[in-house]
Amino acid sequence: MEFKEQVANLSKRSTTATQKALTEEATKTSVVLPFIQILGFDPFNLDEVVPEYISDVGTKKGEKVDFALKINGETTILIEVKPITSSLGNAQYSQLYRYFGVTEAKLAILTNGKEAWFFSDIDAPNKMDKKPFFKFDFQKHSDDEIDELSRFQKDEFSIEGILEAASALKYSHAAAHYLKGQLDEPDDEFVKMVGRQIHDGMLTKNVVEQIRPAIQSALESIIRDRIQDRLDIAFRPKSETTKAEGTTSEDGATSDVITTEDELQAFMMVKAIAAKSISTDRVTIRDAKSYCSVFIDDNNRKPLCRFYFNSKSKNVLGLFNESKGEEKIDLGSLEDIYKYAEAIAQTAASYA
């Protein structure tokens, strides 16, 4: 079975455990041991998987970490398990933190059967970082995240490669977080940094306030242009209309509804806008005869917007508020969708 299929099976186990596993032991049995297994370790071989791993730490005697994974006799990964009913954001993992510094392990995993958080010592040698460099959601994940998870398989394990990727992930995530903040609301330092390149003279407080909206608008324009460039490339070779294979209608039946290029292009725009608030993997399209719907998680109780593009005279965008009320707006062109980016992003955020 391919790794991607194994992860899909693990996702089903995790979903079932969310409803049925009430204790830490149940979480270990139903999700964590299968997780260890798909990483290529034999849970029944004590040379590879040591449960209730003990390594005395200073004055702390007899403390245990739930699992230690070994490769060629060396302790490589430490795993601490919390009940699937708990949140990792609130979890205490002091044992994992202490053990990390006194074993040869360079990786530590904290999991509750719904998520796995991966830690290393990027910030300071032999001291586990306070923040994970990678988070994997067992139930909702992208193909790229599955590829990232595959790095931790025993047969492909390379601590040098993992740490190099961990460092890159950490800084790219931090940079993305910073740039997203500047896109939403550029701070004075960012405005001054750009301002020095575009303004001759002193950057007084009045000048900073004057150019701030222009810089924010420029950032948004760059993003729109990049999205539009990709859309042009994606759709240029296609015919004016595309038949959506296996399109599912609102009543759940398969039909021969035609999804037009305009609807697909509008969907890509909305997906890009929603990315400010939510993972794009959760944004889905479902076409019907009278309109085309965009949902979160393919759930009709989580509507994001609708496209009423079947009229020959005009295109209409349907926007939803928090109470699921719909407002219909006439579009002069598809690019007008960007005018309602804030409303779309807010609705997406309400489902985060």
pLDDT value of position 118? 92
Q: Is residue 176 part of a domain?
A: no
| Pair 145, 24 in one domain | yes
* 15 class by beta-carbon count within 10 Å (0-12 exposed, 13-18 middle, 19+ buried): middle
pLDDT value of position 238? 42
Which CATH number covers residue 89? 3.90.1570.30
| Pair 26, 117 in one domain | yes
Which CATH number covers residue 330? 3.90.930
Q: Is residue 32 part of a domain?
A: yes
pLDDT value of position 57? 55
CB-based contact 243:258 (threshold 8 Å): yes
Q: Residue 125: which region, alpha, beta or left (left: phi > 0; alpha: psi -120 to 50)?
A: beta
Q: Is residue 344 part of a domain?
A: yes
| Pair 35, 142 in one domain | yes
In terms of residue numbers, what domain contains 103?
A: 3-171
Q: Is residue 178 part of a domain?
A: no
pLDDT value of position 160? 77
Q: Is residue 180 part of a domain?
A: no
| Pair 74, 201 in one domain | no
**Segments of the chain with pLDDT less than 70:** 1, 55-63, 225-256
DSSP codes, 255-314: ---EEEHHHHHHHHHHHHHHTTTS-GGGEEEEE-SS-EEEEETTEEEEEEEEEE---SS-
Alpha-carbon distance 26 to 32, whole Å? 9
| Pair 24, 160 in one domain | yes
Residue listed under structure tokens 């804030």: 342
| Pair 28, 143 in one domain | yes
Query: What mean pLDDT value characterizes the chain?
Result: 83
pLDDT value of position 112? 93
Q: Is residue 337 part of a domain?
A: yes
pLDDT value of position 232? 56
End position of a domain, from candidates 143, 171, 199: 171
Q: Is residue 328 part of a domain?
A: yes
Q: How many CB atoms lie under 10 A from the CB of residue 137?
A: 15
pLDDT value of position 12? 95
| Pair 153, 15 in one domain | yes
| Pair 196, 333 in one domain | no
pLDDT in tens, 229-259: 655 554 444 444 444 444 444 444 445 677 8
pLDDT in tens, 16-35: 999 898 888 999 999 999 99
pTM equals 0.53
Q: 205-235 vs 159-184: helix axis angle to the nearest 10?
A: 120
End position of a domain, from candidates 234, 252, 275: 234
| Domains in the chain, number | 3
| Pair 124, 246 in one domain | no
End position of a domain, from candidates 219, 234, 249: 234
